[in-house]
Amino acid sequence: MIRAVALVAGLATLLPVFCIQLAAAQTPGTTSVTIRNPDPAKWAGRSNLFGKSTGEFVCRPLACPDAAKVTATISSSPTRSPDPQALAKLASQIPASVERANQDAAAAGRKLERVSSGTTTLRGYPAIVQELRVVGEKGPAYLSKATLFVKSALVSISSFSPSHDLARRNRDLFIKAMDVTDTPIPR
């Protein structure tokens, strides 16, 4: 009897916590994004211990044709609907930022080369994409990055690999595996 009362009391203390989380998930104007592991047999992944805002996935040995790593971060977007001209202006600043980063990388014996950058639409959301080639002591590696403006969430997915095609393919694979739940703002 005492155990039953203790169990009911324990559950009663958890009820407000669950209600707060459910209420927050249903607040108008919020967007919930989850980056899913597209193939757990192929990818070993882990998330930040304190939240689901960051994650890192590494291709298991012999599961990919070359070494591969994908990182994902989720933060608050500055706006639910970014202006296309503002995105294009931001994307046009990528070559200058790569040049500045290249000066820092040169001291470490690396060279950064911009392969491409620009704006696009991925899964129906406005995005900035960029691809870099990094040349260092171990040879070239490629970064294929997409920053998506997913309503009230800003999602950044970066894929690294010695193969340019593999880096791009893995980035697109994780973007496709992304789950989005949006609660629109009532009008």
Range of the domain at 6: 1-29
187 occurs within a structural domain: no
Q: How far is CA 17 from CA 10, 11, 123, in A?
A: 12, 10, 33
Do 164 and 123 have their domain in common?
Answer: yes
**Overall domain count for the chain:** 2
Residues 53 and 88 both lie in one domain: yes
If asked whether residues 51 and 18 sit together in one domain, one would say no
CB environment 63-75: b (16+ within 10 A), e (fewer): ebeeebbbbbbbe
66 and 157, same domain (yes or no):
yes
Domain presence at residue 68: yes
Q: Residue 63 to residues 40, 42, 53, 103, 154: CA-CA distances in angstroms?
A: 11, 5, 26, 35, 30
Task: Give the whole-angstrom CA distance, residue 36 versus residue 176.
Answer: 9
82 and 102 within one domain: yes
Q: Are residues 91 and 64 in the same domain?
A: yes
Beta-bridge partner residues of 54: 73
Contacts of 25 by beta carbon, 8 Å cutoff, 6+ apart: 32, 181, 183
- Determine the distance from the C-alpha atom of residue 121 to the mean position of all C-alpha atoms in its chain, rounded to a whole number: 15
> Does 105 map to a domain?
yes
The answer to whether residue 159 sits within a structural domain is yes
Comparing 18-27, 51-60, 76-85, the range with the smallest average pLDDT is: 18-27
Quick one: 22 and 41 in the same domain? Answer: no
Does residue 144 fall inside a structural domain? yes
Residues 25 and 77 in one domain: no
46 and 17 assigned to the same domain: no
- Considering the domain architecture, whether residues 115 and 164 belong to the same structural domain is answered as yes
The residues pairing with 148 across neighbouring beta strands, listed in sequence order, are 127, 155
Predicted local distance difference test score (pLDDT) of residue 2? 43
Question: Mean pLDDT: which of 29-38, 97-106, 132-141 is highest?
Answer: 132-141
| Domain assignment present for 19 | yes
Q: What is the pLDDT of residues 73-126, one digit of tens each?
A: 999 999 989 999 999 999 999 999 999 998 888 878 889 999 999 999 999 999
